[in-house]
């Protein structure tokens, strides 16, 4: 299941990656990935070029297939999904990432909101 209850709050992972929340260098909470995460479509418009290389403006549309807001429930999403839903205060984005010796992200120690 891609959710975990912490106190009175439910955290639901809507990303295509496991979310590992790390506190004091230990893996404290793992929330499995979502099989069908919400996606945000986008529109790309060419606005010029830099030294002959195309320069585009990308505008994100509303996200589809995101669950409705529910009391005491927070949805963990990508930054793109969160930014496309500025009216939502229940969307969390992994923040303060932790990397292993090879630079691979292995978890986070915080969340950010929009």
Dist. CA 70–CA 10, nearest whole Å: 10
> Domain limits at 96?
3-112
Give the tens place of pLDDT for each residue, 4-38: 998 899 999 999 999 999 977 666 899 999 999 99
Count up the domains in the chain and report the number. Answer: 1
pLDDT, residue 27, reads: 60
Dist. CA 78–CA 81, nearest whole Å: 5
pLDDT, residue 25, reads: 63
pLDDT, residue 28, reads: 84
Dist. CA 92–CA 7, nearest whole Å: 17
pLDDT band at 62 (very low <50, low <70, confident <90, very high): confident
Do the beta carbons of residue 83 and residue 60 sit within 8 Å? yes
Buried b / exposed e over 3-16, threshold 16 CB at 10 Å, is bbeeeeeebbbbbe
pLDDT, residue 20, reads: 94
């Amino acid at each position: 299941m891609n959710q975990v209850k912490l106190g009175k709050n439910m955290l639901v992972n809507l990303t295509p990656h496991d979310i590992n929340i790390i506190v004091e260098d230990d893996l404290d909470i793992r929330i499995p990935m979502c099989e069908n995460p919400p996606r945000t479509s986008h529109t790309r418009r060419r606005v010029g070029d830099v030294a002959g290389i195309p320069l585009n403006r990308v505008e994100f549309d509303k996200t589809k297939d995101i669950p409705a807001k529910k009391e005491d429930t927070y949805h963990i999403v990508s930054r793109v999904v969160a930014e496309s839903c500025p009216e939502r205060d229940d969307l969390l984005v992994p923040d303060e990432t932790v990397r292993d010796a090879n630079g691979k992200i292995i978890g986070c120690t915080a969340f950010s909101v929009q």
